Amino acid sequence: MKKLFLVLCSASLMFAAGLPSKQLKGTYVEARTADVFVGPCFANSEVELMGELAVMGWKISQGSWEGVSLDGLGVVGVVKASATLGDVHHTSYPVKSVLIIDEKASPEQRLALKSFAQRMSKDLLADVVRIEYRPVSLTIENNNVHSAVAKLEAGGLAAIQTRAMKTTDQVCSHEDVWYPPLTEVDHFMPAYTLAHHYNGKDLGTTWSSPEKRSAFVAEFHLSE
């Protein structure tokens, strides 16, 4: 019986060791066409009228997804929803999206990055109308999300640039995080959007939406 127990334990350990790993950490930035750090009077004036467009980007600093190493790679999702993203009173679906995957990724890594982004985005990237392979970069000042200073560039198709909030950015004097981030994150900071645009052709629209309180800078840790 003792030998059988040891054999079963060894087999279990070998099986667990062979399972695909889903452990990642990295940084994230998003921007929308509606304010996310805002007072209720301004939020209510935007809901159902704007905020259906967004760019979201991840940079994996270390880790694997489905057994594939993604160290140093990035992926960007561009979203066109049917209504204001994050509105708890109305659905924003159906949603169309474009994926921009780091051109440095191997074929295996490209598939893993697509799977990772779709898992993280809570179905916002379920209906992908086009996948582009372009250079993707995401930098955060001093690697500290609390600085709220970030820059995302995705091959000339999409970009975000942010800075920290200032007291002068507040209009109502009681602004707060009105909408949470669109993805799973551990620590996040609302940020002021200096640049936010999408120039592609596959969503039926392009946009530039700077100078809004519409961004988040964050970090994520995922272990499954």
Give the residue extent of every domain in the chain.
21-223
Q: What's the pLDDT at 15? A: 40
Asked if residue 76 lies in contact with residue 45, where contact means CB atoms within 8 angstroms, the answer is no
**pTM exceeding the 0.75 threshold for the entire prediction:** yes
Other beta carbons within 10 angstroms of residue 51's beta carbon come to 25
* Across 4-8, 100-104, 123-127, 200-204, least confident range: 4-8
| Mean pLDDT rounded to a whole number for the chain | 87
222 pLDDT above the threshold of 50: yes
pLDDT in tens, 18-57: 444 457 899 999 999 999 987 666 555 566 667 899 999 9
107-121, 129-143, 173-187, 196-210, range with the lowest pLDDT? 173-187
Stronger pLDDT, 87 or 6, i.e. the higher one: 87
Greater confidence (30 vs 5) lies with 30
123: alpha, beta or left, given left = phi > 0 and alpha = psi -120 to 50?
left
What is the predicted pLDDT for the residue at 77? 98
Give the mean model confidence (pLDDT) for residues 61-78: 97
Task: Examine the pLDDT at 16 and tell me if it is beyond 70.
Answer: no
